[in-house]
Amino acid sequence: MTPPQRQRRDPTPESPPPQEGEGTVRNPERMYVVAGPDGERAELDLVTLIVARAEDPPPSASPEQAALLRLCAAPLSVAELSAYLHLPFSAMGVLLTELLTAELVQARAPIVRQSRTDRSLLEAVMNGLQRL
């Protein structure tokens, strides 16, 4: 048994495909861009911090770019942005490259903390706790 087929309200006759010699065959328009016009991408890592330079996104920004700019009011890593926007890292790289080129965001290295704590600080804390 086959399921019922949906009927169009206003059926329009389909035009036959152009034959050879009739009309021109065009390449389909690209719906996305994998890299910038020169093919280069920004050097980004998952822990690179992104901060927006402007408070509001410009009117020409795409919805993804506007959402990214709103999220970047405070510094966020590329991994966090990727998770919040539900986009893969490769797509985030393309979006961030466009925003970095337009100087709408700033990328900076993460703050690296010392792997070992200062011994004098630990001794001061221990002495303070013993006095209590």
Q: What is the pLDDT of residues 2-11, one digit of tens each?
A: 666 766 666 5
- Identify whether the C-beta of residue 50 lies closer than 8 Å to the C-beta of residue 78: yes
Q: What mean pLDDT comes out for the span 61-68?
A: 86
pLDDT at residue number 29 = 58
Please give the pLDDT value at position 81.
92
Residue 41 has pLDDT above 80, yes or no: no
DSSP strand pairing (105-108 vs 76-77): unpaired
Q: Which residues contact 98 (CB under 8 A, 6 or more apart)?
A: 36, 65
The secondary structure of 86-129, three-state, reads CCCHHHHHHHHHHHHHCCCEEEECCCCCCCCCCHHHHHHHHHHH
Helix (H) or strand (E) holding 69: helix 63-71
Q: Report the alpha-carbon distance of residue 19 to residue 25 in Å, rounded.
A: 10
Taking 70 as the threshold, does the pLDDT of residue 48 lie above it?
yes
pLDDT bin (cut points 50, 70, 90) of residue 130 is very high
Per-residue pLDDT at 109: 84
Q: What is the pLDDT of residue 23?
A: 55
Nearest to 69 by CA among 100, 94, 104, 45: 104
Tens of pLDDT, residues 15-33: 666 565 555 656 665 555 5
pTM above 0.85, yes or no: no
